[in-house]
Amino acid sequence: MATQSEKITYSVDEFVFDVKDIIGQQSTGSRALDAIGSNLRRLVMEGGDLTKQGVEAESSVGLPGRWLHRVPGGDFQLSVTYFPPDEPTPVHSHNRWGVECVIDGEERFTVWERIDDQGSVGKAELKVVSDGIMTRGDVRAWYDPPKNVHRQWAQGGKPVCLALLMGGDGSRQHIFDLDKGTYEDAPARPS
Ligand SMILES: [Fe+2]
């Protein structure tokens, strides 16, 4: 774990308050997610050791995470989530937007947009929106559909640890096969 300041100068509660305020005023377009991302980075830098806060979360990827904010029926949920090295997630979409900030480690994060007319069930055409390596403090978003497709891929032989804010209940929507240009419904699981 990277060196953390012990002193919390921006807490999870303050972050949650600010996210609600931003969504209330600006909804969840790209400008709003930019503003939320700035606050998420501030939380990672000033919120103390987030990996020891909240409650333990069920793991979907073999590494336990933490719930920092999760309210049934809420507009969003905040977690500390780990992805193991050398095991990229499938290319997948969520029903809603998401913003992530790296706490520790290194990740290749790619976002795609669906550019087909979505008229053919099971078929999808994707175009890369953003692709790059993220390290501590870096922030990226995916968006409400159609720019809601992405893949997390830890680099450097060790897990990546993320502060992960997801709209709605964070549920996955589809799993994509880039080579075949197809998709199928995602099994129910987080992240
Ligand atoms: Fe995801």
The structural domains of the chain, with segments of one domain joined by +, span 12-185
Dist. CA 172 → ligand 1 center (Å): 7
Q: How far away, in angstroms, is 83 Cα from ligand 1 center? A: 11
Instruction: Give per-residue pLDDT as tens, 50-104.
Output: 999 999 997 666 578 999 999 999 999 999 999 999 899 999 999 999 999 999 9
List, for residues 16-43, the tens digit of each pLDDT value. Answer: 999 999 999 999 999 999 999 999 999 9
Query: What CATH number belongs to 12-185?
Result: 2.60.120.10
pLDDT in tens, 141-165: 999 999 999 999 999 999 999 999 9
Phi, psi of 20 (to 5 degrees): -60, -40
| 145 Cα–ligand 1 center, Å | 13
